[in-house]
Amino acid sequence: MHFAWAWMFYALPLPLVVMLLPRTHNQARLALRVPFYREVATVATGPSRSTVDRVRLALVLLMWLLLVSAGARPQWLGDPVALPVVGRDLMLAVDISGSMEMPDLSLHGKAVMRLDVVKEVAGDFIERRIGDRLGLILFGKRAYLQTPLTFDRKTVVHMLREAEIGLAGKETAIGDAIGLTVKKLRTQPDADKILILLTDGANTAGEVSPDQAAQLAREEGLKIYTVGIGADVLDVSRLAATQGINRLFGPRTINPSADLDEKALQNIATMTGGRYFRARNTEGLRQIYQEIDRIEAVEKDQQVFRPIRELFFWPLGLVFICSTSLALWQIRRGRRMSSSTRRARADQVSAP
- Alpha helices by DSSP H, listed for the chain, are 14-20, 25-29, 37-45, 49-71, 114-128, 153-161, 174-185, 210-219, 236-242, 262-272, 282-295, 313-350
Q: How many structural domains is the chain composed of?
A: 2
Lowest mean pLDDT: which of 44-53, 158-167, 205-214? 44-53
Is the same domain home to 67 and 128? no
**Does residue 194 lie within any of the structural domains?**
yes
**Does residue 95 lie within any of the structural domains?**
yes
How many angstroms separate the CA atoms of 256 and 285, rounded?
16
pLDDT tens by residue, 284-298 = 999 999 999 888 876
pLDDT bin (cut points 50, 70, 90) of residue 345 is low
Is the same domain home to 67 and 86? no
pLDDT bin (cut points 50, 70, 90) of residue 257 is confident
Domain ranges, residue 256: 82-304
Cα Rg, the chain, nearest whole Å: 41
Is the same domain home to 252 and 316? no
From 270, 286, 304, the end of a domain falls on: 304
Is the same domain home to 248 and 150? yes
Q: Give the model's pLDDT for residue 215.
A: 95
Is the same domain home to 247 and 99? yes
Lowest mean pLDDT: which of 9-18, 198-207, 211-220, 261-270? 9-18
**Does residue 69 lie within any of the structural domains?**
yes
Highest mean pLDDT among 12-26, 82-96, 117-131, 240-254: 117-131
Is the same domain home to 276 and 333? no
Strands 88-95 and 192-199: parallel
Give the percent of the chain with pLDDT over 70. Answer: 78
Is the same domain home to 203 and 295? yes
CATH number at residue 291: 3.40.50.410
Is the same domain home to 69 and 132? no
**Does residue 29 lie within any of the structural domains?**
no
pLDDT tens by residue, 136-188 = 999 999 999 999 999 899 999 999 999 999 888 889 999 999 999 999 988 77
**Does residue 270 lie within any of the structural domains?**
yes
Q: Give the model's pLDDT for residue 222.
A: 92
pLDDT tens by residue, 106-129 = 888 888 899 999 999 999 999 988
- Whether 47 has a pLDDT exceeding 60, the answer reads no
Nearest to 292 by CA among 284, 303, 280: 284
**Chain-wide mean pLDDT for the chain?**
82
Is the same domain home to 191 and 151? yes
Is the same domain home to 241 and 282? yes
**Does residue 154 lie within any of the structural domains?**
yes
Sign of CA dihedral 110, 116, 117, 123: negative
Highest mean pLDDT among 43-57, 173-187, 232-246: 173-187
How many angstroms separate the CA atoms of 44 and 338, rounded?
9
Is the same domain home to 190 and 315? no
Is the same domain home to 296 and 315? no
- Whether 41 has a pLDDT exceeding 90, the answer reads no
**How deeply is 23 buried, as exposed, middle or buried, from its count of CB atoms within 10 A (0-12, 13-18, 19+)?**
exposed
